[in-house]
Chains A and B, each alone.
Chain A
Amino acid sequence: MPTEHRFGLGLRKPHYSDFLESDAAVPVDFVEVISENFMVEGGRPLDVLRRVRERHPVALHGVSMSIGSADGLRDDYLQRLRALVDAVEPLFVSDHLSWSRIGCFNSHDLLPLPYTQEALDLVCANVDRAQDVLGRTLLIENPSSYLVMAGEMTEWEFLAALCVRTGCELLLDVNNIFVSASNHGFDPVAYLAGIPVARVRQIHLAGHSQGRDLLIDTHDAPVPDPVWALYAAALERTGPVATMIERDDAIPPLACLLEELDVARGVASRYLQRAA
């Protein structure tokens, strides 16, 4: 069971000066950055990351590894990520259970996988290769999805098998569970009961929005009450685990996100009191 209970935020451009220019460090236990934004040769982005790293532990969260690509992973991508990992010495390195690229086409979106044995074999091979190149354990995040493809197992069964076969760990996105459960009509608590909770090293919290037919994972609003409730249910199973809030659009002042992070601390505190 993970024992570290840290609270962090995604580092976004509007907050760079808050993180770098204030005398007192921002009261977070870690920050998470989008890996690809810093897989560059030089310039201001890497300087910002270097200076933030002097103040805070950093988690690297990727969106372009394309761990579900049927034709394997790109070596140039893995080597660039490895260089960033070596420079940052991150708390976690994560990416999504999805695919973005096939051949020379890269969609830059997190596209859904069919949860079949063929896909499991392929994703396991890709995770093994990524972990070999990176020299460390990868955290795999459950995606939000907007359609279900014919499969042979549930998403949580797929993740459980993936963890067993590759030794990877999990980044549990509670908002994504809520969004996918709403879109596809499954029970989010059954999802929580089905994942290997001992492998959950990090939790994402975020807001979403209502599309015409489906919930959309927009990260443009505060964490809503049902997601807070699901977070509490997740903590019941995982115990203390590093938690962070993602906000990628309609980004408010940092103070607002810090208040929201205090809500997460409160939820976790209530869990710990009950568990004691």
Chain B
Amino acid sequence: MSLLDLQQDFRQWLTAESSGIESRVHASAAPGLAVYLNNYRAQLMACLAESFAVVASWIGADAFSAAAAVHIDRVPPHSWTLDDYALNFPETLATLYPEDPEVVDLGRLEYELGLAFTGADSAPVDPATLAGIDWDAARICFVPTFRLIQVRTNAAAIWSAIRAGNATLPPPVLPGNGTLAVWRREFAPMFRMLAIDEAEALSRLRDGASFAMVCEGLVHRFTEEQGPAIAGGYLRSWLNDGLVARIDG
């Protein structure tokens, strides 16, 4: 019986309560095996509860525990950091709550905010340093915690109301596909619901388009005068939000 075989049997005990390990330890070890099984599941349950406190508040503690138990059965942890265990929980929520898309949206928003909390540091650009930029060639680089996530519901409003401790929460509504920007400003994770045109502009810039190309797109959508003005307004708000790490050009 090699150590490798023993450890694989122990894994099967923890994830499937497979009896292979029981034959490798003395019968008196049964209470000990139960302790390890309980520790394993309790640790993962605590991780999910801490990572998805808003989801738990929205669906209720019992429903959350049931969802977490399904996830623990479905997805064994693989990474050395427990933080990574939160990654696939929104997928489990999607299978459990197919008629309640706001639950999945809340889960994805919480996961992204958690990522931003410990993402790489980057000071936002100082607007006073932007003189002399060649705006025809300028490319905007966002802070490394910047993400765009697609949502189908008013999850952002629900999230804010829950975190504010509001007694009355907004009912879930399904306005259609929308985009949330998530990032971290200093040490605080932030998010903001985006208008369609702003989301498209951010998406194109993130994917490598120049600021001039984005202006051009807005000119086509609006007018020769409105396009650059709208792009300038977006840029001002991104600078104010601390979304921009630097502008090359």
Contact = CB atoms under 8 A, between A and B. Distances in A.
Interface of A: 36, 39-47, 64, 66, 68-71, 74, 76-77, 99, 101-109, 111, 113-114, 116, 118-119, 122, 145-150, 183, 211-214, 216
B7 A69 contact: yes
Contact of B120 (A41, A113, A145): A41
B117 interface: yes
B35 A108 contact: no
Interface stretch (B36-44, B51-59, B231-239): B36-44
| In the complex, the 8 A-B pairs of residues with the closest C-beta atoms, listed nearest first | A147-B32, A146-B32, A42-B121, A213-B31, A40-B118, A147-B29, A70-B4, A44-B187
Contacts of B83: 40
A109 B39 contact: yes
B26 to A, nearest CB: 8
Contact of B32 (A40, A69, A107, A183): A183
25 contacts: A36-B82, A39-B81, A43-B121, A43-B187, A64-B81, A69-B7, A70-B2, A101-B80, A105-B15, A106-B77, A107-B14, A108-B40, A109-B43, A111-B10, A111-B36, A118-B2, A118-B3, A146-B35, A147-B25, A147-B26, A150-B25, A211-B31, A213-B31, A214-B31, A216-B35
A77 B33 CA distance: 28
B246 interface: no
Interface of B: 2-4, 6-8, 10-11, 14-15, 24-26, 29, 31-33, 35-36, 39-40, 43-44, 47, 76-83, 85, 116-122, 144, 184, 187
Contacts of B8: 102-103
B7 A146 contact: no
* Max chain A Cβ within 10 angstroms of own Cβ: one of B4, B33, B35: B35
Contacts of A149: 6, 24-25
Given A111-B36, A211-B35, 17 more contacts: A41-B120, A42-B118, A66-B80, A69-B7, A102-B10, A102-B11, A105-B11, A106-B78, A106-B79, A108-B44, A108-B77, A109-B39, A111-B7, A118-B2, A145-B32, A214-B32, A216-B35
Contact of B78 (A105, A116, A118): A105
B36 A42 contact: no
A251 to B, nearest CB: 14
Given A40-B118, A43-B117, A148 B29 contact: yes
B11 A43 contact: no
Contacts of A41: 118-121, 144
A44 B119 CA distance: 10
A43 B78 contact: no
A168 B39 CA distance: 28
A147 B80 contact: no
Contact of B117 (A44, A109, A147, A211): A44
A102 B187 contact: no
B109 to A, nearest CB: 18
Contact of A106 (B24, B33, B80): B80
* Max chain B Cβ within 10 angstroms of own Cβ: one of A42, A66, A70, A74: A42
A107 B119 contact: no
Contacts of B3: 68, 70, 113-114, 116, 118-119, 122
A66 B24 CA distance: 21
Contacts of A99: 7
A42 B43 CA distance: 24
Contacts of A113: 3
Given A64-B80, A118-B2, A183-B32, A70 B40 contact: no
A211 B4 CA distance: 30
Nearest to A38: B118
A250 to B, nearest CB: 14
Contacts of A101: 80
Given A42-B118, A43-B119, A99-B7, A109 B80 contact: no
B53 to A, nearest CB: 14
A101 B180 CA distance: 36
A107 B47 CA distance: 13
Nearest to A106: B77
A109 B78 contact: no
A213 to B, nearest CB: 4
A267 B14 CA distance: 40
Given A64-B81, A147-B32, A42 B119 contact: yes
Nearest to B83: A40
* Max chain B Cβ within 10 angstroms of own Cβ: one of A36, A43, A44, A213: A43
